[in-house]
Amino acid sequence: MPLLENCVYLDSLNENLKERAGFFKLSSDHIHLFTRALVADNLIAIQDSEKIVSCISTSINKELSLEEIEAFLPDPLADIIKYLRKYFWLDKPLYTIIPGLENTSLVSLLSLCSSKAEYILVPYKQQYDTKLLSTVTDILENSGKELLLQIPKLTYQTAHLLQHTQEIWIGPEADLQALLKLRFLQPAVERELELYKKIVVGSEGHYIIEDLDIEWIEKKPYRILVKEPSEIDYLSLVFGKDKVSRVAALLSELIKSSSLTEKNFFDLIRDLG
C-alpha cells in the first residue's frame, strides 16, 4: 500500500492494530444511498427502501447514527439496523470494509466529507455495487477528498474501473503482464511500463508514464471485532430527552385504555413519523 500523509486507510498498517470494526455516521441527505447499500448487501428488498426513506423524515437535517436510524424504523427493519450495530459500533472514526457488508461499509465513508483527510485508500471488492461506488466516489471528491481504489490485479472484469480514473499507480506487487493484456496503452508507452511508475491519463485517450516517488508498505493482518449491540432508549432518540417523561406518560395511559401493547404502539408511532 502507498504510505501517504492525511490518508484514511481501511486496512491496517500497524501490526499492533490486530482488530478493526466499523464507524457509522450518515447525513440524512444520504439516507437513500444507505438504502441502496442495504439492497446491494441483500439485507432488504427494493420495496423496503422507500419505507426507510419515508421513516427518516426529510425534516431531520442532521448526521444520523445507526442507533437513531434504528429508533425511527419499525420491525423488522429496526432489527436489520440492530444487526449492523454488531459491526459498526466504534465511537471514533476508524473505517474498514466489513465482509458481507461491503456496500454499507462504502456508504459509511461519506462521514469523511467533513474530515481533514486528503486521501481515502479503499480496497476493491467484487461485491461493490458499481454505480454506488461511483456515486460515493463523486461525493467524496466533491468534498475535496481523493479516493484511491486499490485493485490487486487488473483484468477484463475490472477494466471498467479505469474509465473514470485520472492516474494508475503501479505498486511493487502489480501484475504488469495482466495490465499489458488489456491493450489500452500505445506500444511506445507499454515499453516504458515498470513497477513504481504511474500512468497519467491524458486527453483523447493518450497516456503518459511518470515516476512514482512514494514509499510502499505491506498491510498487516487483522480481524473484524464483533460486539453485541446494547439496548437503546427509543423514546429519547425519537422525541428528545426533554419530552421523554410526557411521551412515556401518554404511552402508559394509551396502553392501559386500549388493547395495544407497548411494542405495537411504538411501531405505530414510528410508522406515522
Q: What is the mean pLDDT of residues 8-19?
A: 86
pLDDT digits (tens, 9 = 90+) for 220-271: 999 999 999 988 866 666 656 666 566 566 666 665 666 655 556 556 555 5
Q: Count the domains in the chain.
A: 2
Distance between CA atoms of residues 200 and 125, nearest Å: 24
Q: What is the mean pLDDT of residues 150-175?
A: 82
Closest C-alpha among 78, 12, 89 to residue 44: 78
Range(s) of the domain holding residue 273: 235-273
pTM of the model as a whole: 0.83
Residue 272 has pLDDT above 70, yes or no: no
Residue 220 sits in the same domain as residue 250: no
From first CA to last CA, the distance across the chain in angstroms is 46
Whole-angstrom CA distances from 187 to 190, 199, 204, 208 are 5, 14, 16, 12
C-alpha cell at 191: 515499453
Residue 171 sits in the same domain as residue 67: yes
One-letter amino acid for residue 200 of the chain: V
Assign residue 66 a region (left: φ > 0; alpha: ψ between -120 and 50; beta: otherwise). Answer: alpha
1 occurs within a structural domain: no
2 occurs within a structural domain: no
Q: What are phi and psi of 122, to 5 degrees?
A: -115, 120
C-alpha cell at 68: 437513531
127 occurs within a structural domain: yes
- pLDDT at residue 265 in the model: 57
pLDDT band at 146; cut points 50, 70, 90: very high
Residue 57 sits in the same domain as residue 72: yes
Q: What is the mean pLDDT of residues 148-174?
A: 82
To which residue does cell 432489527 refer? 79
Residue 158 sits in the same domain as residue 265: no
- pLDDT at residue 273 in the model: 46
Whole-angstrom CA distances from 227 to 21, 36, 42, 88, 115 are 9, 25, 21, 9, 26
- pLDDT at residue 45 in the model: 95
Residue 199 sits in the same domain as residue 248: no
Residue 181 sits in the same domain as residue 250: no
pLDDT band at 66; cut points 50, 70, 90: very high
Residue 244 sits in the same domain as residue 168: no
Residue 126 sits in the same domain as residue 19: yes
190 occurs within a structural domain: yes
- pLDDT at residue 132 in the model: 96
Q: What is the mean pLDDT of residues 96-110?
A: 96
Kind of pairing between the strands at 146-150 and 119-123: parallel
Q: Across all residues in the chain, what is the average pLDDT?
A: 84
